[in-house]
Amino acid sequence: MKTKDFFALPQLKAVLCLSVVAAAMTLPAATSAQTSLTAEQQAFKERREQEFEAFQLRRIQQFAAFKARYNAELAAFRTDLLEKWGEVEVSDKDTVVVYPEPEIKTVVDYEAKKIVVSVLHDANATVDQTKVVAALEKLKSVEPEDSNGQAVNILKSYAANDTFDDLDKLVQNADVEVAQPEITDADIEAENQAFAARQIQDEIAFQMMADRLSSPSQSVDQAITRVASQSEKSHSFSINKIKRDKNQKASELKNKRITRLTIAIKPKELQDRIAEIKPYAKQYSSVMEIPMPLIVAMIHTESSFNPLAVSHIPAYGLMQVVPTSAGIDVNEFLHSKREPLEKDYLFIAEQNVEAGSAYLHLLNNRYLTKITNPQSRLYCAIAAYNTGVGNVTRAFTDGQSTSLNSAVADQINAMQPQQVYDLLLEKLPYDETRKYLKKVRTRMDKYQNI
* pLDDT tens digits for range 110-147: 778 899 999 999 999 999 999 999 999 988 887 655 45
pLDDT at 96: 86
Domain identity same for 219 and 344: no
Number of domains in the chain: 2
How many Cα atoms are found within 13 Å in the side-chain-facing hemisphere of 211? 25
Residues 389 and 326 in one domain: yes
Residues 353 and 247 in one domain: no
Q: How far is CA 393 from the centre of its chain?
A: 22
> How far is the CA of 82 from the CAs of 87, 185, 337, 404, in angstroms?
5, 12, 41, 45
Do residues 32 and 174 share a domain? yes
pLDDT at 19: 40
Same domain? 351 vs 429: yes
- pLDDT more than 70, % of the chain: 88
- The pLDDT of residue 438 is 98
Same domain assignment for residues 110 and 257: yes
The residue among 249, 267, 285 that closes a domain is 267
Residues of the chain with pLDDT under 50: 4-34, 146
The candidate with the shortest Cα–Cα distance to 380, out of 425, 316, 322, is 425
Question: What pLDDT does residue 249 have?
Answer: 93
pLDDT in tens, 84-119: 999 999 988 788 899 999 999 999 987 788 999 999
pTM of the model: 0.79
One domain for residues 297 and 260: no
**Boundary-marking domain end, from 239, 267, 295:** 267
Domain end position, chosen among 221, 249, 267: 267
Contact 1, 98 (CB under 8 A): yes
CA distance 388 to 205: 8
Q: Note whether 135 and 160 are same-domain residues.
A: yes
Domain shared by 278 and 217, yes or no: no
Q: What is the CATH number of the domain that holds 420?
A: 1.10.530.10
Whether 148 and 90 map to the same domain: the answer is yes
Instruction: Compute CA distances 80 → 75, 90, 151, 183, whole Å.
Output: 9, 12, 27, 12
pLDDT value, residue 143:
66
Decide: 254 and 430 in contact? Cβ < 8 Å: no
Residue 399 zone, left/alpha/beta (φ > 0; ψ -120 to 50; rest): left
Distance CA 174, CA 136 (A): 12
Question: Looking at the structure, do residues 383 and 252 belong to the same domain, yes or no?
Answer: no
**25 plus 130 within the same structural domain:** yes
Give me the pLDDT at residue 14, please.
38
Report how far apart the first and last C-alpha atoms of the chain are (Å, whole number).
34
Range of the domain at 368: 270-446
